[in-house]
Amino acid sequence: MAHWIEACAVDDVDEEDVIRFDHGGRTFAIFHAPDGRFYATDGLCTHEKVHLADGLVMDHVIECPKHNGRFDYRTGAAKGAPVCVNLATYPVKVEAGTVFIGLD
């Protein structure tokens, strides 16, 4: 069962944007989708470990700032070269204006 961790306030992330969230020696990326939903993935690109929060969000895709690799942040799916390893994703819930991510 997931252990819910407070990540940020809803207002901390504009729609179609991403922020970095660090917890317990790990780093995550928190996304605010155009439909208002929030998503969470590992923060580091699976290609060369650059932080994705420095990248560009377009619709439901995050583009890595280093080599422009792309992932669907809803599923973590890598969208083609140079990235071939999917991102880990985490459950998210929003309560009273706060975004929580679920960790094992």
The contact set with ligand FES (CB under 6 A) reads 45, 47-48, 50, 64, 66-67, 69, 82-83
- Cβ proximity to ligand FES, 6 vs 48, nearer residue: 48
- Cβ proximity to ligand FES, 71 vs 90, nearer residue: 71
For residue 55, the minimal CB distance to ligand FES (Å) is 8
Q: Say what the alpha-carbon torsion angle 92, 41, 10, 20 is, to the nearest 10 degrees.
A: 150
Q: Are 55 and 36 in contact (CB under 8 A)?
A: no
Q: What is the DSSP letter of 83?
A: B
